[in-house]
Amino acid sequence: MNKKQKSILIGIVTALLLIILFAAMAFLNRIPMNPQGTIGNTAGNLNNSGLFCEHNGAVYFANSYDGNSLYAMNPDESDIRRLNSLEVQNILAGGKYLYYFQTGSNSTSGLGQVQGRRSFNRCNLKGRDTTTLTTDVVVTAQLVDNYLYMLTSTNSGPSFYKMKIDKSDKKVLAAIPINPACAQDSVIYYNGVETDHYLYALNTANDTPTEVWAGNLWYPILSDNYVYYLDVAENYRLCRYSLSQGVIEVLTNDRVDCFNVGSGYIYYQKNSSTPQLICMRTDGSNAFVVAEGNYTDINMTSQYVYFRAFDDQYTTYHSFIGSGGCSEFTAALEAVPAE
């Protein structure tokens, strides 16, 4: 083999090695897709700031006692641990990743360039390998299969768009405030905001909206073939609509500030001169007062309901679902790591 042939051979081998190297890097950096039917969080949680999210036997949450840093625990509140020190809300989970809106930062330890700025991020289930997906101000986001549907606030007004979880294939869908929180079976259900408050369904297979029901609703939550909602025309009382029978049921005539549905129960904040946090069955029966006063950010997991006082965003309260009374979530307070 002469010198020229050797040079050609070395060039070919080098090129092949580079191709293999780039292919290996692409494979290692590939974001695995989610199984069909993946939904990032419940509508009720997302409508209440998305501070808790249950996924594959773990609960991910914003710990109010540690500046809303991202934490994880078991559903029974054991093994509480901090994942990172970013101030988060709108927590989503699917497959091998978490997604959240970073509202700011309460720490400067070890997170580099992602500290101190608003952004919507993706990280692994241990809170590591953080990637910024957008620096838009996210009002509400939902994960549906392999796409993030986001309602964002811009200088020119609201923007509703989707983006694949690997940050590709961004597509603006509307310039109106469509809330993507309520999703099931690859369909997003939302109330109208322009000429009516009807119930609409956005099929994410083709991003085509259709009218489902000519109601007058706000904050729809779909559960067991019922749509739970606030009745706009009737002082925001809480009702449900049967999708199979086309029947409306009034669950309470109280004016409702916020609510959540799960595990056969509804929790809602009564707006009155004597405000109360109330629990009842999903058919409106067996209502009882959980706590006196004004509460907000009602989040639910499979075992507990969590909430905060309207004028105290530091303290988190919890109650075992369906049980009377509540107490401070002291386990989260005690879990705050020492500086």
Domain ranges in the chain?
Answer: 36-334
- Residue-level pLDDT at 110: 39
DSSP-derived 3-state class of residue 41: coil
- Residue-level pLDDT at 339: 53
> Does pTM surpass 0.75?
yes
* DSSP-derived pairing of the beta strands 304-309 and 312-320: antiparallel
Cβ neighbours of residue 141 closer than 8 Å, sequence gap 6 or more: 40, 46, 90, 92, 99, 101, 120, 148, 149, 150, 151, 180
Domain 36-334 coded CATH 3.40.1000.10? no
Q: Measure the CA angle with vertex 309, ends 278 and 79; round to 5°.
A: 90
- Residue-level pLDDT at 220: 98
- Residue-level pLDDT at 8: 57
How many Cα atoms sit within 13 Å of 76 on the Cβ side? 2
For the stretch 312-332, what's the b/e string if a residue is b when 16 or more beta carbons lie within 10 angstroms of its beta carbon? eeeebbbbebeeeebeebeeb
Cβ neighbours of residue 336 closer than 8 Å, sequence gap 6 or more: 63, 65, 66, 82
- Residue-level pLDDT at 26: 37
Residue stretches of the chain with pLDDT short of 50: 5, 17-28, 107-114
CA 195 to each of CA 131, 154, 179, 216, 312: distance values in angstroms, whole numbers, following the listed order: 38, 22, 16, 11, 37
pLDDT digits over 301-322, tens only? 999 999 999 999 999 999 999 9
Report CA torsion sign: 226, 229, 234, 237: positive
- Residue-level pLDDT at 169: 93
| Total residues belonging to the chain | 339
- Residue-level pLDDT at 212: 97
The structure tokens listed for 91 are: 């927590």
Cβ neighbours of residue 264 closer than 8 Å, sequence gap 6 or more: 281, 282, 322
